[in-house]
């Protein structure tokens, strides 16, 4: 019987975290695979102006494309698909189910990100692409200088976003969609001191009209128009895969890691938005670089890097060219 091929690493997710790890692992000559379900938050970014190295900004999808190209250049194998189950065999390796296939792997890097809770609007993806609905003042607050801004949130998180956006504009209104705003009197005092308008009547309808957003608070018939609407409704970590492994997650479902991005499950690492941290591309990339290096160092004690066919690698340019088309072992 042929011995089962076990990957050095399975990277779950091909956003900025997963693709950075892919670049590093490929250059460490590791046998690994990236499986990506194709729902990166970065793909929604119309133009990022705060990601270092791009003075004119960069579209999220362009950045992802360039990272994938760079990883593939060194032999990374990136496949479209979803990991639907992750378990651990008694003899050590993890087993992942990817669209019905089984993949055995010594280590796993979870780079699955988070899902934003979106407001109930007719065509949110289009509004996000057009920059009318936004999620992150740190990312694009600078681009609303002097604009009228609405912030949708139910409680303190909405207020925090509204206070943050006061750095950029004096015209900030805090609203809530469908249910009442829950603010303490202290929080109301903070909003008043910062000159933030509060609309207490829950907004019933939000309408996008050409390049503006109109919010209608039915009680009292109040109606407001904004250049931009920030959604501060929160997010959910995509960490359900590690539930059966008993991996430690925090109250928000984010994976808890140490300074080497190791989780509480031996051999399982995590990087990017799925880890509780600042949800930014640069942070996802930094954590992925740390995780990939820790994975490589851990595996160095087990075996030499091997190519897709299981041969120990040599360093000829031909070998590198051949690797860029080779698929790693999948059982």
Ligand X SMILES: Cc1cc2nc3c(=O)[nH]c(=O)nc-3n(C[C@H](O)[C@H](O)[C@H](O)COP(=O)(O)OP(=O)(O)OC[C@H]3O[C@@H](n4cnc5c(N)ncnc54)[C@H](O)[C@@H]3O)c2cc1C
Can you tell me which of 7, 12, 177, 291 binds ligand X, judged by CB under 6 A? 12
Closest CB to ligand X among residues 159, 288: 288
SS3 of 131, please?
coil
In the complex with ligand X, which residue's Cβ is closer, 105 or 187? 105
**What is the spatial distance between Cα 322 and Cα 331, in angstroms, rounded to a whole number?**
21
| Binding of ligand X by 140 (CB under 6 A) | yes
Only segment of 25-33, 183-191, 203-211, 274-282 that touches ligand X (CB under 6 A): 274-282
Smallest gap, in angstroms, from Cβ of residue 323 to ligand X?
A: 23
x/- letters, 55..94, toward ligand X (CB under 6 A): ---------------------------xx-----------
For ligand X, the closer CB: 50 or 264: 50
Choose among 6, 9, 41, 22: nearest CA to 112.
41
Q: Which stretch binds ligand X (CB under 6 A): 21-29, 275-283, 299-307, 318-326?
A: 275-283
Minimum gap (Å) between residue 17 Cβ and ligand X = 3
CA distance 65 to 127: 22
Output the CA–CA distances (angstroms, integers) from residue 155 to 115, 174, 202, in the order listed: 19, 10, 12
Q: Which of 228, 281, 290, 299 binds ligand X (CB under 6 A)?
A: 281
Please report whether residue 144 would count as binding ligand X according to CB under 6 A: no
How many helices (H) and strands (E) the chain has is answered by 8, 17
Residue spans of alpha helices (H) in the chain: 16-27, 60-73, 124-129, 137-140, 156-165, 185-193, 281-300, 317-323
Residue 315 gets which letter from DSSP?
A: -
Say how many residues touch ligand X, by CB under 6 A: 40
What CA–CA distance (Å, rounded) separates 276 from 111? 12
For ligand X, the binding residue among 6, 14, 106, 132 (CB under 6 A) is 14
Binding ligand X (rule: CB under 6 A), the pick from 137, 273, 292, 298 is 273
By CB under 6 A, name the one of 11, 26, 33, 40 that touches ligand X: 40
Residue 191 Cβ vs ligand X, minimum distance, rounded to whole Å: 25
Residue that has been written with the tokens 């539930």 in this structure: 243
- Closest approach, Cβ 120 to ligand X, in A, equals 17
CB of 152 to ligand X, least distance (A): 14
Burial pattern 62-79, b for ≥16 Cβ within 10 A else e, equals ebbeebbebbbebbbbbb
Q: x/- string (CB under 6 A) for ligand X, residues 96-135? A: ---------------xxx--x-----------x------x
Q: Are 275 and 268 in contact (CB under 8 A)?
A: no
CB 26 within 8 A of CB 319: no
Which of 48, 107, 148, 231: binder of ligand X (CB under 6 A)? 48
Ranges within 210-249 binding ligand X (CB under 6 A): 238, 241
- Calpha distance 225→89 (Å, rounded): 57
Kindly state the smallest distance separating residue 239's Cβ from ligand X, in Å: 9
Q: Does 272 bind ligand X (CB under 6 A)?
A: yes
Q: Which is nearer to ligand X, 110 or 162 (CB)?
A: 110
Cβ count within 10 A of residue 21: 35
Tokens of 234: 């929160």
Q: Are 124 and 231 in contact (CB under 8 A)?
A: no
- What is the rounded CA–CA span in Å between residue 37 and residue 11? 12
Residues near ligand X, by CB under 6 A: 12-18, 35-42, 44-45, 48, 50-51, 82-83, 111-113, 116, 128, 135-136, 139-140, 238, 241, 272-273, 279-282, 284
């Amino acid at each position: 019987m042929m011995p089962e091929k076990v990957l050095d690493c399975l990277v779950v997710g091909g956003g900025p975290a997963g693709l950075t790890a892919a670049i590093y692992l490929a250059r460490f000559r590791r046998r690994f695979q990236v499986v990506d379900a194709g729902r990166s938050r970065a793909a929604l970014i119309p133009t990022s102006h705060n990601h270092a190295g791009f003075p004119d900004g960069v579209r999220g999808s362009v950045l992802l494309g360039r990272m994938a190209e760079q990883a593939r250049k060194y032999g990374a194998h990136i496949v479209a698909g979803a990991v639907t189950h992750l378990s651990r065999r008694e003899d050590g390796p993890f087993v992942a189910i990817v669209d019905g296939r089984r993949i055995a792997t010594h280590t796993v890097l979870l780079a699955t990100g988070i899902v934003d809770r979106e407001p109930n609007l007719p065509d949110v993806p289009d509004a996000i692409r057009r920059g009318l609905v936004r999620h992150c003042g740190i990312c694009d607050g600078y681009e609303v200088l002097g604009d009228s801004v609405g912030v949708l949130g139910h409680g303190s998180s909405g207020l925090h976003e509204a206070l943050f956006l006061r750095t950029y504009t004096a015209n900030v209104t805090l609203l809530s969609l469908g249910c009442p705003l829950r603010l303490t009197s202290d929080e109301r005092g903070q909003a008043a001191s910062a000159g933030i308008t509060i609309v207490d009547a829950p907004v019933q309808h939000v309408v996008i009209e050409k390049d503006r957003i109109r919010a209608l608070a039915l009680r009292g018939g109040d109606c407001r128009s904004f250049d931009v609407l920030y959604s501060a409704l929160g997010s959910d970590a995509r960490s359900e895969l590690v539930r059966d492994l008993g991996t430690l997650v925090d109250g928000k479902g984010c994976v808890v890691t140490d300074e080497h991005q190791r989780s509480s499950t031996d051999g399982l690492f995590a990087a990017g938005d799925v880890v509780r941290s600042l949800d930014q591309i640069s942070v996802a990339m930094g954590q992925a670089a740390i995780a990939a290096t820790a994975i490589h160092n851990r595996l160095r004690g087990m075996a030499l890097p091997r190519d897709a066919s299981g041969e120990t690698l040599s360093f000829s340019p031909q070998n590198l060219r051949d690797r860029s088309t080779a698929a790693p072992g999948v059982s």
